[in-house]
């Protein structure tokens, strides 16, 4: 799928692997608002800052009745290390190598950097309403202030 999922679309119900060996999917949160933030790679500066920012606001998201989930293609084992190293309270999940959630959303795509072409994650956040519809999409996210902006939008939903 090359088209980005858009506001009003139903969020795909594709299973992801959690660091503790379990699984998680959007329907697990039906009846609640959900923020799913996709990031390229554990332990890189922007991704670490984003995960820490969401962790810092987790109690406010909880108070607003909003579940959080961070997703990358990193392995569950790598997520465990990332969580421990940075004391993250935000749940993380691993997307499948192929035909995963990021593929279905159109955010696992060809990227270019320094003349090199490769497949990579477009840093994207989805605010999903209680009926599993996408209420808001932030594409090509700039990390600074992003978690706060998402919190305000989630509270307003």
Confidence at residue 157, expressed as pLDDT on a 0 to 100 scale: 93
For residue 5, what pLDDT is reported? 87
pLDDT of residue 53: 98
Locus of tokens 């799913």: 36
> How far apart are alpha carbons 36 and 113 in whole angstroms?
26
Residue 51's domain spans which residues?
A: 31-156
The tokens for 59 are 């109690």
Asked if residue 1 is part of any domain, the answer here is no
Q: 50: domain CATH number? A: 3.40.30.10
pLDDT digits (tens), the chain, 157 positions: 346 789 999 999 999 999 999 999 999 999 999 999 999 999 999 999 999 999 999 999 999 999 999 999 999 999 999 999 999 999 999 998 889 999 999 999 999 889 999 899 999 999 999 999 999 999 989 999 999 999 999 999 9
**Is 8 inside any structural domain?**
no
The number of domains in the chain is 1
Residue 16 lies in a domain: no
- Identify whether 117 is part of a domain: yes
Residue 124 belongs to some domain of the structure: yes
Query: Is 141 a domain residue?
Result: yes
Question: From residue 120, how far is each of 79, 108, 123, 131 by CA, in Å?
Answer: 17, 6, 9, 29
pLDDT for residue 2: 44
Is residue 75 included in any domain, yes or no? yes
Task: Assess if residue 57 is contained within a domain.
Answer: yes
Provide the annotated active-site residues.
47
pTM over 0.85: yes
């Amino acid at each position: 799928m090359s088209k980005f999922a858009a506001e009003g679309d139903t969020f795909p119900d594709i299973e992801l692997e959690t660091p503790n060996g379990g699984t998680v999917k959007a329907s697990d949160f039906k009846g609640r608002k959900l923020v799913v933030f996709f990031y390229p790679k554990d332990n890189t500066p922007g991704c670490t800052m984003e995960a820490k920012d969401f962790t810092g606001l987790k109690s406010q998201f909880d108070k607003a009745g909003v579940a959080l989930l961070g997703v990358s293609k990193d392995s569950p084992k790598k997520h465990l290390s990332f969580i421990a190293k940075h004391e993250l309270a935000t749940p993380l999940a691993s997307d499948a190598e192929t035909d995963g959630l990021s593929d279905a959303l159109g955010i696992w795509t060809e990227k270019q950097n320094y003349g090199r072409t490769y497949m990579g994650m477009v840093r994207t956040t989805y605010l999903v309403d209680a009926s599993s519809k996408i209420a808001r999409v932030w594409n090509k996210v700039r990390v600074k202030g992003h978690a706060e902006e998402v919190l305000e939008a989630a509270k307003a939903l």
